[in-house]
Amino acid sequence: MDIDVKELKSKMDRGDDFVLIDVREPGEHQGFNIGGQLVPLGVFSQTIPKMDALKDEEIIVYCRSGMRSATAQHLLLQAGFKNVRNLIGGVLAWQEAFGSEV
């Protein structure tokens, strides 16, 4: 259920329909982001009930390295979300593959 940066970039370039969520902290998000909506992991559990309409949507979560987003993925799956993917390697893998290109 995970996704790598090349597949994500292809989905973005095609304009595929999915929800992209950045679970890093605001300072990290401001420094560099790939377009995801910011929902820091520290408040993620409280935000899940507000995301109920997205239960059947494809959701891709990311963080710096993929660890925090793996936690977010687990929380969403436990809450009944059907298609939650974690960006393998996070922003670090994105920057390694594409630099600062979004």
Whole-angstrom Cα distance, residue 80 to residue 96?
33
Q: What was the pLDDT predicted at 39?
A: 98
Would the pLDDT of 102 be above 90?
Answer: no
Q: Give the mean model confidence (pLDDT) for residues 71-90.
A: 98
Would the pLDDT of 101 be above 90?
Answer: no
Q: What was the pLDDT predicted at 12?
A: 97
On whether the CB atoms of residues 60 and 21 are closer than 8 A, the answer is yes
Whole-angstrom Cα distance, residue 4 to residue 90?
9
Q: What was the pLDDT predicted at 78?
A: 97
Give residue limits of the domains in the chain.
5-98
pTM (predicted TM-score): 0.96
Would the pLDDT of 1 be above 90?
Answer: no
Element (H, E) at 22: strand 19-22
Active site residues: 63
Nearest to 25 by CA among 79, 71, 63, 76: 63
Q: What is the pLDDT of residues 59-78, one digit of tens each?
A: 999 999 999 999 999 999 99
The 3 state secondary structure assigned to 46-97 is HHHHHHHHHCCCEEEEECCCCHHHHHHHHHHHHCCCCEEEEECCHHHHHHHH
Q: What is the pLDDT of residues 8-44, one digit of tens each?
A: 999 999 999 999 999 999 999 999 999 999 999 999 9
Q: What is the CA radius of gyration of the chain?
A: 13
CATH number of 5-98: 3.40.250.10
